[in-house]
Amino acid sequence: MRILLLNPNTSVSVTTLVADRVAAVAGDAATFVPVTARFGAAYIASRTALAIAGHAALDAFAEHAAGCDAVFIACFGDPGLLALREISPVPVVGMLEASCLEARHGAGRYGIVTGGALWKPMLEEIVAGFGLGDGLAGIRTVERTGGEIARDPDAALAALAAACRDCVEKDGAEAVILGGAALAGLASRLQPQVPVPVLCSVEAGVRACLAAARAPYARPAPVTMETVHLAPALSTLLG
């Protein structure tokens, strides 16, 4: 299988980090083709950046999705997920939705820990929009953004572990999702310090993407519209 690994952030280093983790989890089950957004924020940490990233995800999909069996959005906010599902001939999986589904199925009540205070209300709205808010025990954020954690993960480990424990002890979470592309691989390092399962959102996304790529898929009806000033590939796809 060939799967498009789409990073809606513009940080190539984050794409590389996620691609390495994805390859370790997927093994020889699929080839993941990494693509970085050509415009937008280096690391998404606000509503403005998330909105721009949705367009960037559509743009990258139009340019690079040909020949792929599935699409994996490598960003915990799942920018553009529903729009991509509207136009994609193959399954599209987002890290946030996939990890919430896995956590709810395995534990019932789950918490989320991520970097950047602005993410808390954004994630609450997105999770509720997916219809998964009933299992959400709480969301905890640390001061460092995902981009800052990616640059120096060791410096963030103590704060992330404390936030995970708060999810368990104060919010009643029975599992904790460590959310964010830049936090790939840190869940296993935090697990010894947390009394419930800690799920890596990247790894959960990979598992969901492989399952989706293998399952039957009903292609949506084509979406067409008149557009102006879009990139040629996206304009052609929609026109």
Cα–Cα distance, 82 to 188 (Å, whole number): 30
Residue 159, number of CB atoms within 10 A of its CB:
17
Cα–Cα distance, 18 to 231 (Å, whole number): 26
Mean pLDDT of 13-37: 95
- Residue length, the chain? 239
Residue 80, both tokens: 């553009």
Cα–Cα distance, 128 to 186 (Å, whole number): 26
Model pTM score: 0.94
Task: Specify whether the CB–CB gap between 181 and 17 falls below 8 A.
Answer: yes
Q: What is the pLDDT of residues 170-223, one digit of tens each?
A: 999 999 999 999 899 999 999 999 999 999 999 999 999 999 999 999 988 888
